[in-house]
Amino acid sequence: MMMEISASRRIVNSVMLTLSGVCTVFVVGVLFFILGYLLLHGVSSLNWDFFTKLPKPSGETGGGMANAIVGSGKILLLAALIGVPIGFLAGVYLAEYSGKTFAFTIRYVVDLLNGVPSIVIGIVAYALVVRPMRHFSALAGGVALGIMMIPIAVRTTEEFLRAIPNNIREGAMALGATKATTIYTVVIPAAISGLTSGMMLNLARVAGETAPLLFTALGNQYWSSGYLAPIATLPVMIYNYAIAPEDDLHQQAWAAGFVLLTLVLVINVTARLIIARGPAAQRR
């Protein structure tokens, strides 16, 4: 009797544990599948034209996404200029100045902001920028992505500044440094590798955002100068080409997807490795 019970329990044990392993392998497999598929289909369509030429008008084959690549760069620059300072300085406040309850409230609000769907942020940017200006613009797109960058900037700044031990701050103040001097000449430099990695991750995340750009930056067949006109971006081009009927455009979508994914993943891996080796991790 005892032996039978043990056997069935053992079987259940093995089956369940194997199943859980299979699930894990499956999930990891999906990542490699996506990567592999994009590699296969994207690289073959990648050529010099892709990086240097403008899109061709519909009906014609060929062309590239030079304007979209530059456009993404321009919008990300603006987004960083908006989101990083606000988020960083708020993070400094939370880590260095704030009292406990206020910090808790702010953190909660920041987390909620982080959970707002990107398309909703896009609508707000539309209401704030596109509507008064009466046309779409890179500025509106930058504002939308900039708002999205704020929560992560706040969280990473606070986390990495808090990881710097307090006796370093005391050491500086005991020499006659003011609180502000201590923060900006000792604490922040000490945390700099974590802070920059966090910003890289932040940037990589918004670099792939498409939804908010659909009705803020919209898109552009040609070069867009300045920030006050609609502008092409890589993710939006991928979307437009993917749902278009022409197979030639599908190929270009794969190429663009490959470029975008490679960029995003390389930044992610680099940033995470820096963080994993950095002072914050060593203190844990």
Partner 1 sequence: MATPQQQQTIRDATVASGAKPVMSKTDSNLKLTARSINFYYGQFQALHGISLDIPTNKVTAFIGPSGCGKSTFLRTMNRMNETLRNTRMEGDLKLDGEDLMGMDVTDVRRRVGMVFQKSNPFPKSIFDNVAYGLRVNGIKKKSVVAEAVEKSLAHAALWGEVKDKLHKPASALSGGQQQRLCIARALAVEPEVLLLDEPCSALDPIATLKIEELLFQIKDITTIVIVTHNMQQAARLADFTGFFLMGKLVEIDDTKKIFQNPGKKETEDYVTGRFG
Partner 2 sequence: MATSTSHIAETLHRRAKSGFFARLRGGDELSYLITLACTISILLIVGVIVFELWFNSRATFHAFGFGFLTSSAWDPNADKYGALPFIYGTCVTSFIAMLIAVPLGVAASIFLAEMAPPQLSNILTFLIELLAAVPSVIYGLIGIFVLVPAIRTYLVPPLKSAFGYLPIFEGTFYGLSFLSAGIVLSVMVVPFIISVSREVLMAVPREQREAALAVGATKWETTWDIVLPNASTGIFGSIFLALARALGETMAVTMVIGNTPKISASLLSPGYSIAAVIANEFAEANGDLYISSLIFMALVLFGLTIVINAVARIFIMTTQGKGG
CB of 207 to partner 2, least distance (A): 8
Show the CA angle centred on residue 268, arms to residues 144 and 44, nearest 5°: 95
Given partner 1, partner 2, none, residue 254, with its beta carbon under 5 to 8 Å by kind, binds partner 2
CB of 164 to partner 1, least distance (A): 9
Span interacting with partner 1, options 80-88, 89-97, 113-121, 175-183, rule CB under 8 A: 175-183
Residue with the two structure tokens 């975008």 = 260
Q: What letter would DSSP give residue 57? A: P
The CA distance from 2 to 164, in Å, is 57
The CA distance from 186 to 177, in Å, is 10
The CA distance from 160 to 279, in Å, is 9
Instruction: Give yes or no for residue 215 binding partner 2 (CB under 8 A).
Output: yes
Given partner 2, partner 1, none, residue 209, with its beta carbon under 5 to 8 Å by kind, binds partner 2
Least Cα distance to 164 among 146, 137, 142, 185 occurs for 185
CB of 101 to partner 2, least distance (A): 14
Given partner 2, partner 1, none, residue 106, with its beta carbon under 5 to 8 Å by kind, binds partner 2
Site for partner 2 in 248-267 (CB under 8 A): 250, 253-254, 257, 260-261, 264-265
Site for partner 1 in 181-200 (CB under 8 A): 181, 185-186, 189-190
Residue with the two structure tokens 């680099």 = 270
Instruction: Give yes or no for residue 173 binding partner 1 (CB under 8 A).
Output: yes
Question: Is the distance from CB of 25 to CB of 238 less than 8 angstroms?
Answer: no
Instruction: Give yes or no for residue 52 binding partner 2 (CB under 8 A).
Output: no
Is 166 exposed, middle or buried, given 0-12, 13-18 or 19+ CB atoms closer than 10 A? exposed
Given partner 2, partner 1, none, residue 63, with its beta carbon under 5 to 8 Å by kind, binds none
Instruction: Give the E-state strand segments of 75-213 in sequence order.
Output: none
Q: Quick one: 184 or 222, whose CB is closer to partner 1?
A: 184
Footprint of partner 1 (CB under 8 A): 165, 167-178, 181, 185-186, 189-190, 279
